[in-house]
Structure 1
Amino acid sequence: MATLNVPPVPPSPRDDAITLYTAFKGFGCDTSVVVNVLAHRDAIQRAHIQHEFRTMYSTDLLKRLSSELSGKLETAVLLWIHDPAGRDAIILKQCLTVAKNLEAATEVICSRTSSQLQYLRQVYYTRFGVYLEHEIERYTSGDHKKILLSYLTIPRHEGPEVNKEFAEMDAKVLYKAGEKRLGTDEKTFVQIFSERSAAHLTAVNHYYNDMYGHSLKKAVKKETSGNFALALLTIIQFSENPAKYFAKVLRKAMKGLGTDDTKLIRVIVTRAEIDLHYIKAEYLKKYKKTLNDAVHSETSGHYRAFLLELLGPNQ
């Protein structure tokens, strides 16, 4: 369930474009207006506003926002204004080719459904003129590369149906490929984790725990390492409970000295139109503090205001 709060009868895209243009005029930008407009429009509405702005003022809204805003607010707003697939493409391009942030790239790829990834691949090529698979080939390596490529390209069933016998068999196969033998058969882990549905992997984890006394997650931590382990753990945790997975990512972003604002922005912005309501509930349940309060204590100014608008009511 999304947290994005769109007015029942929002202004027309033309009126929003005029409002934004007015906010940009004069000495300094009326940032509050920018936040109040864009934080309450869905992806389709944001696309229409961009089109109207370009038509009316012969300039790109993204460029204007970039010149008027700064710092973390600029980062968050410029990411938010895109549609989900376009946003994921931008994040992956940045992570793979500029920031070399393989952890973030792994998070994005391994926490998207098969259909989302198929569309993302098309958008990536359209936007950047290069295949996402080729970027992964170039910027990753080893078993990490294999799992990302497989997870990205292999179609998976997305329904809740599970063949219990098949799931039990997969649990046994994974045990034989990992904990039962000396050394790990990584190829088997790549195959099962990339070809099976989320519901199936959840069932595999259940049977693994029943038969061997601990979770598949624990086995993965024991048998694999590095970014390969990260990819497998992301897949299994997201399969079981996406909201709980992202609550943990957010906690990690805000825990300790300093805040990982890139991670904080990425999760809130990418999930606000999908399941941020459930992520907030999991965060409260696990950490006994609302996500709104956590974000409020770790951020400030218009940047804080923008994230809190996306988060919705403090509950």
Structure 2
Amino acid sequence: MSYQQRTPTVVPANPFDPRADAEILRKAMKGFGTDEKAIINVLAHRTNAQRLRIDYEFKTMYGKDLVKDLKSETSGNFENLLVAMMTPLPEYYAKELHDAMEGAGTDEDVLIEILCTKSNEEIMVIRDAFRKKYHRSLEEDLMGDTSGTFKRLMVSLCNANRDESMMVNPEAARADAQALLRAGELKLGTDESTFNAILCQRNWAQLQLIFQEYQNLTGHDIEKAIKNEFSGHEEQGFLAVIRSIKNQSAYFAKLLNKSMKGLGTNDRALIRLVVTRCEIDMVEIKREYQANYGESLAEAIKGDTSGHYKKCLLHLIGEPA
């Protein structure tokens, strides 16, 4: 994935004094009223790792749980955003995956967003966090909650066995492009397993080459083939893999746009996307958002959110609130 430039909007505070930060937060929540501005100024300008250090110091100094204090002093989406910011990232991803599969129905969009865009190591860390938190394997839950081609895609990705060498082989790319063509557009019906094997195993640089070869062979983008050959969640899953390989920042800009457009805002998705990407590539995501949707991400957030929730989101994406 290193071929895509990645610039975060939240970087480690330097100098960093977790004890001083803990004092500021304690003062902000002590007595009558809450100083939300002080809370945002500290937490939205620290990395996840630094926030966890502050949490530790807070407990050491005051014998109190910072997250519990934040929850009792705030409410609604602002509270949800702060709790997300205070959760170790692997645990946060594990909880989002768990909640997406818990209860009636499955939120496949969450499974796709997380599993289709991560490196082997990231998936392994999330799997470990999932097992620790829920005492069962992520793969078991995926197998029980999904079906058909989509299930196979999720289980393959959950195995975290992609080649990550970034070595490219033009001949192999041509052969894979031909295999995809034979498994899809040249065949009555679709051989899903070929798509699954190639999209889940080849390294990201090699897949770029395969997509280019596919275009050369057919005169159209591989996305068109996926749309013709698949439907529903499997279509969305394969498209997510392809789009995040082509341009991960544009893919996340699209998800952010989706979370805010239409009837009501999907705040859970908005919070997850901002909290998890602000330390990775939010600068590029903002650029793609502006280019693709004709307004800035900041304008979209201002139009769709309010109060301290809005201010905190804007700080996280590096925009003046």
TM-score, structure 1 normalization? 0.94
Amino acid at match of 1:17: A
Task: Kindly state the Cα deviation for residue 5 of structure 1 after the two structures are TM-superposed.
Answer: 4.7
Alignment counterpart, residue 21 of structure 2, candidates 13, 16, 19: 16
Give, as a single letter, the amino acid of the residue that structure 1 aligns with 2:263. Answer: L
The ranges of structure 1 where at least 4 consecutive aligned residues each deviate by more than 6 angstroms after the TM superposition are none
Instruction: Quote the Cα distance in structure 2 between the aligned partners of 1:77 and 1:154.
Output: 30
Aligned to 1:241, what secondary structure does the other structure show? helix
| Whole-angstrom distance in 2 between the partners of 1:306 and 1:241 | 27
**1:50 maps to which residue?**
55
Tell me the alpha carbon deviations over residues 175-197 of structure 1, each in whole angstroms, 9 at most, x when there is no partner: 11111111111111111111111
Aligned length: 313
**TM superposition shift of 1:312:** 0.5
Provide the residue aligned with 1:178 in structure 2.
Answer: 184
CA deviation string 1:40-89 (max 9, x = no partner) = 11122111111112222223222222222111111111111223222211
Aligned Cα RMSD in Å?
A: 1.6
1:95 to 94, 100, 103: 100
> Are residues 1:156 and 2:162 paired?
yes
- Give deviations 1:261-288, integer Å, cap 9, x for gaps: 2221111111000011110111112223
Bigger shift: 102-111 or 254-263? 254-263
Shift, 1:154, TM fit: 3.6
User: Is 2:151 the counterpart of 1:145?
Assistant: yes
**1:152-231 superposed matches below 5 A:** 152-231=158-237
Q: Does 1:281 align with 2:295?
A: no
Query: TM-score if structure 2 supplies the norm length?
Result: 0.93
Aligned to 2:298: 292
Counterpart pick for 2:74 among 53, 56, 69: 69
Identity %: 38
Structure 2 Cα separation of the partners of residues 72 and 281 of structure 1: 26
- Give yes or no for contact 1:85–1:123 (8 Å, CA) kept in 2: yes
Instruction: For 2:318 and 2:161, locate their aligned partners in 1 and report how far apart those are by CA, in whole Å.
Output: 34
Indicate the larger mover: 206-215 or 255-264: 255-264
CA distance in 1, matches of 2:233, 2:70: 35
1:258 aligns with one of 250, 264, 269: 264
1:150 deviates by 0.4
Shift of 1:6: 4.5
- Equivalent-residue separation in structure 1 for 2:63 and 2:141 (angstroms): 34
Contact 1:268 1:307 in 2 (8 A): yes
Q: 1:115 touches 1:155 (CA, 8 Å); kept in 2?
A: no
Q: Contact 1:198/1:239 (CA < 8 Å) preserved in 2?
A: yes
Q: Which runs of 5+ in 1 are unaligned?
A: none
